[in-house]
Amino acid sequence: MFVYGIGGSLDEWFFSDTLPSPTFGTGGLLWASLTLALLTLPVVIVATEEGLARIPEAQREGAVALGATRLEMLTRIVLPMAAPAMLTGVILAVARAAGEVAPLMLVGVAKLAPQMPIDGEFPYLHLERKFMHLGYHLFDTAFHGEDVQAAIPLVYATALLLVLIVLVLNLTAIFLRHYLRRQRGNEC
């Protein structure tokens, strides 16, 4: 949908002079980002719903009874109390997205990207360019190399790097959640 539907339409509207060589009608960073956003959105939504459901109704009613408007109640009571759960959901979704490979192979990952999506040329961030992904690099190195035995250290290093990225993201979620809970406890 993204690459051929939206990207093809963008090419026809804005880049018709460069067709049949597509600009946005081919896989790239923009379409991969939107695909991962759609994949991780349910995780964030469920975490946010859980966080909002855990807030006692008495907290909301008490804020309104003391004269707070609904907006003040939401911004000063409900959202700060739900923030740890929402933040945890966001960071866990990012950690999940870091390990996704299959959908990205369809919408932008390349075995070898000749150019980085970020460079010194205007507009500096080129969303139409393909990119490399650690998960795909791991798969390609482990199963499609000519000398698999020589590639084993690189496979282990790549797998360790992916695990470390996910671990750091999960630890960040834990520490931020505890920080927000401690900060919320000091306000009461």
Q: Show me where the domains of the chain are located.
A: 2-7+24-187
Digitized pLDDT (tens) for each residue of the chain, 188 residues in all = 777 777 777 777 877 777 677 767 677 778 888 888 888 999 999 999 999 999 999 999 999 999 999 999 999 999 988 888 888 888 888 878 877 877 887 787 777 777 788 888 888 888 878 888 888 888 888 888 788 888 899 999 999 998 898 888 888 878 887 887 788 766 54
Res 92: pLDDT: 82
Please name the residues in contact with 99: beta carbons below 8 A apart, sequence gap of 6 or more.
135, 162, 166
Res 25: pLDDT: 67
Name the pTM for this structure: 0.69
Please provide the CATH number assigned to the domain covering 2-7+24-187.
Answer: 1.10.3720.10
Q: How far apart are CA 173 and CA 116, in angstroms?
A: 29
Res 52: pLDDT: 93
Q: How far apart are CA 153 and CA 148, in angstroms?
A: 10
Categorise residue 109: left if φ over 0, alpha if ψ from -120 to 50, beta otherwise.
Answer: beta
Categorise residue 22: left if φ over 0, alpha if ψ from -120 to 50, beta otherwise.
Answer: beta
Angle between helices 148-187 and 79-99 (to 10 degrees): 180
Res 108: pLDDT: 76
